[in-house]
Structure 1
Amino acid sequence: MTSSSVNTDPDAPLTVSGFVAEGYEKVAQAFAAAIAKTTRGGAALAIQVGGETVADLWGGYADHATGRLWQRETSTVVFSCSKGLVAVLAAQLVAEGRLDLDARVASYWPEFAQGGKADVTVRHLLSHRAGLPYPVRDLSKQDIVDWYPVVEELAAQAPLWETGRNWAYHALTYGWLVGEVLRRVSGKSVGTMLQERLAGPMGAEAWFGVPADRRAGVANIAPSTELTAEALDSDPNDLEIARCLTLGGAFPLGLVEPGKGFNDPDIQTADIPGAGAIATARGLASIWSSTVIETANTLPLDPSVIADMTAVQSSGASYFEPERLDTARWATGFMVDAPARPFLSSASFGHDGAGGQLAFADSEAKIGFGFVTNEMQGPDDGRAIDILEALRSITSK
């Protein structure tokens, strides 16, 4: 552990704290290199192999402005890694026979049939094919904190394309769309499901809506300097993509600003399952490990459900980027290995998150992986990829 929770000398080199098992030294070296590139924030890495922890590392700043250093218990917003957690909850309901991925959404959520959406399936929601990547009406922060105004708006809205004919990443609306189906099936909020089914039984630090007594330990997010209103031009697609991120005003374009967006305490304590999970790297690694091997007395997901939900559904040319073919690949709720978004292997499934986050499992190597950071970097951010390459060099032997 570091000797102090506050760095009084901003020019002093930051140390990496934690543990790495023998044989995984390359991972520690790659993480140290990632910390060296993380000048406005910090990061943490946790890896479990065969249900056992082989790396639990952290370093840098939890809050650069105040000098607060990253500690073992520091948590942070993990952005779209949230979607992977939602998909795991959906997979559990599928295995229990309570959720049919190919059933119409309206069979669970009757109001959703409005606007010509009667044939949209649950799988369409999970694979970004529902045609609802943003709300037509401007939403406020209070709307998204309250949950119901958002789901009512999306239920009433007509899709941007004919059912199943196209796809586009549902950056934020995914959480309310899939989350409302899970709520209708289970009778519980996604935040409650996460605690009762995954995080709570395992003692994993992961929440949709961080408890008030844990919010002081949440890292302050340093925004990206590249995603700004000035970076947009008049291209209608750019403006639509911006709306996917802002929901018409509920969030700043870059998702965070000082005290705003996902740095806002009101947002951090709300149930926002598309991008608002708050977790430690250790908590994510434990949860993902539990999907492929018994971990902390939890049983893994049904292999047949994993096989079905990791088959590619959406990739390549999309509604917003019809000329782009080198995209990530989405299965049913999970991201899977792709040249544009590499994972450990073709047996990996999970999700990345804005600003460099990455969390996944690998069903062959029996790995659970979590890398989190509070410094949002641009598209050339290679911190997680470099750590993955180091891990691959070890596990492929």
Structure 2
Amino acid sequence: MTAVQGTVSTGFDVVGEAFAEAFEGLPEMGGALAVRVDGRAVVDLWGGIADSRDGRPWERDTPTVVFSCTKGLMSILAARLVEAGRLDLDRPLADIWPDFTAHGKDRVSVGDALAHRAGVSAPRVDVTRAQLLDFAAMAQIVADQEPLWRPGDGWAYHALTHGWLSGEIVRRAGGVAPGDAFAAMAEAVGGGAWLGMPAEVAASAAHLRVGPTLDALVARQAAERDPATTDWLDRAMTLGGALPATLVTADDGFNADDVREAVIPGAGAVATARALAAVWSATVAETDGVRLLQDDTLEVVTRERTAGAPVFAAPAPWPRWAAGFQLDSEARRYLGPSSFGHDGAGGQVAFADLDSRVGFAFVTNWMEADDPRATRIVDALRSVVG
């Protein structure tokens, strides 16, 4: 078995065992797990290979792209603005972003936009690489777009466009660029997470690998695609060609430094597991002297806004959404009804649980589609904290 390093507090041994089992049959996988309870670190583990090209091992502070876990972190920033009285989830988004009124999107509320109900889940135009790397250019594309369905009347997962929605919400309501707001939040609890990876971090970042189940899923979807119709689910991931369907290749997509260094708030954060767990912990408990959100704010921002079947057909079970936060559901099982967070492509999972005051993060560079790794770890944690 892959050697696992780090520490596990008394009583959490089964969580550590579940993490070690995640490496079984995956000799080139790397990953890390961090868990806090009441702000205290109870699990801090890592192991495996950070870069299979040269065998570089995963270290205690190896950062990696966390994909859509980024959405959860952006949603914390939006929630902090709600707490500060600077953002109203029921207010039309166009009130703070006038360009968003284009093509009848004036009825979209801030909460709708965060809950995947804005109607702009994929771009109608083919996005270029240069546009992908330009936050302002992408925000304008989203603002200018004619919606794909009547906004507010249904939902579809805004796989990448969600980030330019949340990023503009944070920028306009908070008066701070999203990358800077993200950096300040991460630094408040010890650092180790970035939206726009600094160049000096590139050498230590994990190299991502696409596993066989993800490869097979993408190949099957391509084979089943009707060339006579637009596949909006595919465009949501690729933006019409700016990214590969798997989000990474051996040296491109989110393995490319220019992509990781760009501000892509829907999927582009680079973080250590320890940093993610600390941020999520601080939403539900004082963590290293910091509390990011109060309980009464959580009651507002974690209220269910989206559930059920999406606009574009996808097999059940379906996720549930609050104001950007992914809630506990059959599609993504967390600890229970008071859990909120976000998973990410390939197996990343990060969340908090209010009842047990838990902050959790599992990250890996080995990306799979059919992936029980984090679920088994969460199940083990549930057996401990209830």
TM-score normalised by length of structure 1: 0.93
Matching of residue 374 in structure 1 with residue 365 in structure 2: yes
Unmatched tracts of structure 1, length 5 or more = 1-12
Q: Which amino acid aligns with 2:43?
A: A
1:200 aligns with one of 149, 172, 187: 187
In 2 relative to 1, CA 54–210 (structure 1 residues): closer, same or farther, beyond 3 Å?
same
CA distance in 1, matches of 2:19, 2:203: 25
- Residue 14 of structure 1: how far off its partner (Å): 2.5
SS of the residue aligned with 2:5? strand
* Match in the other structure for 1:341: 332
- Residue 200 of structure 1: how far off its partner (Å): 1.1
Matching of residue 299 in structure 1 with residue 286 in structure 2: no
1:45 aligns with one of 16, 33, 44: 33
In 2 relative to 1, CA 320–74 (structure 1 residues): closer, same or farther, beyond 3 Å?
same
Conservation of the 8 A alpha-carbon contact between 1:60 and 1:70: yes
Conservation of the 8 A alpha-carbon contact between 1:41 and 1:221: no
Write the mapping of 1:2-41 to structure 2, written as runs, cut at 5 A.
13-41=1-29
CA distance in 1, matches of 2:26, 2:154: 37
SS of the residue aligned with 2:362? strand
2:374 aligns with one of 370, 376, 384: 384
SS of the residue aligned with 1:296? coil
SS of the residue aligned with 2:215? coil
1:171 aligns with one of 159, 163, 175: 159
In 2 relative to 1, CA 365–192 (structure 1 residues): closer, same or farther, beyond 3 Å?
same
| RMSD, matched Cα | 1.4
CA distance in 1, matches of 2:101, 2:293: 31
Q: Which amino acid aligns with 1:383?
A: R
Write the mapping of 1:146-225 to structure 2, written as runs, cut at 5 A.
146-196=134-184, 198-223=185-210, 224-225=214-215
CA distance in 2, matches of 1:307, 1:15: 41
In 2 relative to 1, CA 317–230 (structure 1 residues): closer, same or farther, beyond 3 Å?
closer
- Residue 227 of structure 1: how far off its partner (Å): 4.0
* Match in the other structure for 2:322: 331
SS of the residue aligned with 2:137? helix
CA distance in 2, matches of 1:122, 1:220: 35
SS of the residue aligned with 2:280? helix
Q: Which amino acid aligns with 1:222?
A: R
TM-score normalised by length of structure 2: 0.96
CA deviations over 1:223-261 (Å, ceiling 9, x no partner): 232243553213478822111000011101110001111
- Residue 32 of structure 1: how far off its partner (Å): 0.5
Q: Which amino acid aligns with 1:301?
A: L
In 2 relative to 1, CA 300–345 (structure 1 residues): closer, same or farther, beyond 3 Å?
same
* Match in the other structure for 1:9: none
In 2 relative to 1, CA 230–342 (structure 1 residues): closer, same or farther, beyond 3 Å?
closer
Conservation of the 8 A alpha-carbon contact between 1:209 and 1:271: yes
CA distance in 1, matches of 2:9, 2:219: 45
